[in-house]
Amino acid sequence: MDTGTHVVMGVGVAGLATLDPHVANDPALFNAVFIGAMAGSLAPDFDTVLKMRNNAVYIRNHRGITHSIPAVVLWGLSISGLIYLMFPEISFLHLWLWTFFAVILHVFVDIFNAYGTQALRPFTKKWIALGFINTFDPYIFFLNVAGIVAWLLGANPGMTFLVIYGVIALYYVKRYIDKREIVETIKEYFPTTECVATSPTMKQNFWRVAIKTKDRFYVGTVENGHIQLIDEFERVPLPKTPLVETAKKDKNIAAFLSFSPIYRWEIIEYEYYTELRLIDLRYRSKGYYPFVAVAQIDDELNILNSYTGWIFSEGKLQKKLQFGGSPT
């Protein structure tokens, strides 16, 4: 989810915590739990700072190790431990339980959007991206905001957020059913379908889809249950050539390949170099595929420049490669 939603959900967890008699009857414990819930709701996204290093490191690690099972345990213990130093008179157990819950909730809600997480590490590095909740879902965000406003106006925070999260749970079930119907319809239309990547939008009945069948890729939209195909590509595996094998060793190309399950490729020959371009088909927007990886390689198999990330015009991509790319 986006940072704003994680923030309001942190407040929501603090509100839920008042259902715990120990928290409700101990102002110091409540203050500590409030801090823990807010910190726990944001901590797993600490890896956002990796973007300051380069996109390749960010893409390979964002929502990776920081959202893993060991990290979730460590976030809960470390945040609770630091807060306990400021409130040594409180119950550490109850502080840890609610902080830990906030961390778990953060990672849990992240698996439902199209980006996903590696939440099952260290058992598997597979990206879990269920793709039926938008990264920013206005219903979830504003339900939490409504709960905060009600709390400020004097409503019981525990019962208020218990009802709100019950409604949100039903909303998740509804969105799951919506996605299942879309996937079933696609599989009926394309019997050899191997994978359907769904990307919900802020419009309830409008979805983007990328479909991988036995021999083709399809990109389209689904609106009110009606599927419209926009692009179609032959599914061709990356050739096993010296140029491609060299490109795979580049950090930007490797990061893209570790993350993207549905992509196509292009090899373009120029006068002084050859360009390998990988294009993720899941995020088509306004006629453009913004998530790409590019490597420019000379005749001696030296990587001149490479880049991976979100680019919304060819001109900006070329500027990144020329001035702001990531030379190997």
Kindly report, residue by residue over 22-71, the tens digit of the pLDDT.
999 999 999 999 999 999 999 988 766 555 555 656 565 567 777 889 98
Tokens representing 84? 């306990």
| Confidence (pTM) | 0.85
25 and 162 in a single domain? The answer is yes
Six token digits for residue 317: 């991509």
Is residue 153 assigned to a domain?
A: yes
Residues 143 and 51 in one domain: yes
**Does residue 211 fall inside a structural domain?**
no
Same domain, residue pair 264 and 119:
no
Domain end residue (candidates: 142, 174, 206): 174
Residues in Cβ contact with 120 at an 8 Å cutoff, skipping those fewer than 6 apart: 68, 69, 126, 128
Whether residue 277 is found in the same domain as residue 147: no
> Do 168 and 255 lie in a common domain?
no
Instruction: Specify whether 48 is located in the same domain as 151.
Output: yes
Nearest residue to 18 (alpha-carbon basis) of 5, 4, 2, 37: 37
Q: Is residue 125 included in any domain, yes or no?
A: yes
Asked if residue 60 is part of any domain, the answer here is yes
More reliable by pLDDT, 61 or 323: 61
Asked if residue 62 belongs to a domain, the reply is yes
Q: Structural domain of residue 291, as residue ranges? A: 242-324
User: Is residue 69 within 8 Å of 109, Cβ to Cβ?
Assistant: no
Is position 212 within any domain? no
The conformation of residue 113, written as its DSSP 8-state character, comes to S
State the total domains in the chain.
Answer: 2
Query: Which tens digits make up the pLDDT trace of 77-119?
Result: 999 999 999 999 999 999 999 999 999 999 999 999 887 888 8
Q: What is the pLDDT of residues 277-305, one digit of tens each?
A: 999 999 898 888 999 999 999 999 999 98
Render pLDDT for 193-218 as a digit per residue (tens, 0 to 9): 999 999 999 888 999 999 999 999 99
Residue 320 has pLDDT above 80, yes or no: no
Shared domain for 112 and 251, answered yes or no, is no
Query: What pLDDT, on a 0 to 100 scale, did the predictor assign at position 61?
Result: 59
With respect to residue 311, please indicate whether it lies within any of the assigned structural domains.
Answer: yes
Where in the chain does DSSP place strands (E)? 195-200, 206-212, 216-223, 226-234, 263-269, 274-280, 291-297, 303-310
Q: Which of 120, 142, 174 marks a domain boundary?
A: 174
Domain termination site, one of 130, 145, 174: 174
Is 138 a domain residue? yes
